[in-house]
Copies of this chain bind each other. A is one copy, B any other.
């Protein structure tokens, strides 16, 4: 089965919201005086680190799996993922009652690997590059007959990820800017579709590590430039931008900011210490962009989607 790479509409995102609502959490929006003082802005954190499986990825994966027909889903679902999509797909498959097959890079954080196993998925390890991920996944699918649910290059995933911004704008309709990290682009593209359909004047900005800046380069060049070496602590953002997300991002997103590794770690620790929430390095990236002054936020209302909190506590970067 192949799904045409059509661009989802606000109606698709609203339908996705109805599909996932019984299973996904309505995550809280938190604030911090420390952050507001530091940024001179009013910042609202949509806490997807409290989502099922600890990441927004459950939104897209559950929308994709739960909208499969029983016939389509019977041989299971498969994917490659550095971690959060893997967990999300495993849990969604469990809810649907079908097997899940997951290809993971051999440098994926241990806590993510354990969690995927915990949801009952079968794991196949591969090297940490797109080629190895894709060829390994092909073999798994040839053996099992499972349906591939791509982590981001899929309109059902994009629509599902857009539901976080939908909820954020329901509780905070007066935001001026929404920031998200960008890896494969599923969250950023879903966010910009939802946000600009609801509020055309809102700005939507992506944030990316300097060490994995393929989305930044692609956005500036107007054409897809793949990631090569992506040696960033933000493990969720090591993947290359997908074609479908890019087609949405290049048209609708206002800007993409990049940040250094040290500022990612500093922002991550700051949020842990001041907000008492555990965020993984990937979602410290938009926070770092704001802290570094890469985005002009003074006096504005800023939404940041905190994408996940799956961190190996035995291996912290400080």
| Alpha-carbon gap, A54 to B272, bound state (A) | 11
With a cutoff of 8 Å between Cβ atoms, the chain B residues found around residue A269 in the complex are 313
Q: B277–A276 contact, CB under 8 A?
A: yes
Is residue A200 within 8 Å, beta carbon to beta carbon, of the partner chain? no
Assess A314 versus B309: contact at CB under 8 Å? Given A49-B276, A54-B276, A276-B278: no
Assess A272 versus B49: contact at CB under 8 Å? Given A277-B278, A278-B277: no
In the assembled complex, the CB of A167 is this many whole angstroms from the nearest CB of chain B, namely 14
| Alpha-carbon gap, A309 to B30, bound state (A) | 15
With a cutoff of 8 Å between Cβ atoms, the chain B residues found around residue A309 in the complex are 276
- Which residue from B276, B310, B314, B318 sits with its C-beta under 8 Å from A318? B314
| Alpha-carbon gap, A313 to B271, bound state (A) | 11
Copies in the complex: 2
Number of interface residues of A (CB under 8 A): 22
> Using an 8 Å CB-CB cutoff, how does the interface string of A47-89 with B read, 1 for contact, 0 for none?
0011010100000000000000000000000000000000000
In the assembled complex, the CB of A37 is this many whole angstroms from the nearest CB of chain B, namely 10
- Which residue from B111, B276, B314 sits with its C-beta under 8 Å from A50? B276
Q: A313–B49 contact, CB under 8 A?
A: no
Is residue A5 within 8 Å, beta carbon to beta carbon, of the partner chain? no
Q: A111–B273 contact, CB under 8 A?
A: yes
A273 to B, closest residue via Cβ: B313
Is residue A298 within 8 Å, beta carbon to beta carbon, of the partner chain? no
A49 to B, closest residue via Cβ: B276
- Which residue from B33, B52, B272, B316 sits with its C-beta under 8 Å from A278? B272
| Alpha-carbon gap, A310 to B50, bound state (A) | 19
With a cutoff of 8 Å between Cβ atoms, the chain B residues found around residue A314 in the complex are 318
Is residue A120 within 8 Å, beta carbon to beta carbon, of the partner chain? no
| Alpha-carbon gap, A273 to B112, bound state (A) | 11
| Alpha-carbon gap, A310 to B273, bound state (A) | 7
In the assembled complex, the CB of A246 is this many whole angstroms from the nearest CB of chain B, namely 30
In the assembled complex, the CB of A199 is this many whole angstroms from the nearest CB of chain B, namely 25
| Alpha-carbon gap, A265 to B296, bound state (A) | 42
In the assembled complex, the CB of A161 is this many whole angstroms from the nearest CB of chain B, namely 19
| Alpha-carbon gap, A279 to B276, bound state (A) | 7
> Using an 8 Å CB-CB cutoff, how does the interface string of A249-270 with B read, 1 for contact, 0 for none?
0000000000000000000010
With a cutoff of 8 Å between Cβ atoms, the chain B residues found around residue A226 in the complex are none
With a cutoff of 8 Å between Cβ atoms, the chain B residues found around residue A276 in the complex are 49-50, 54, 277-279, 309-310
With a cutoff of 8 Å between Cβ atoms, the chain B residues found around residue A316 in the complex are 313, 316
Q: Could you show 26 A-B contacts with beta carbons less than 8 Å apart?
A: A28-B28, A28-B30, A30-B50, A33-B52, A49-B276, A50-B275, A50-B276, A50-B277, A54-B276, A111-B273, A269-B313, A272-B278, A272-B313, A273-B313, A276-B277, A276-B278, A276-B279, A276-B309, A276-B310, A277-B277, A277-B278, A278-B278, A313-B316, A313-B318, A314-B318, A316-B316
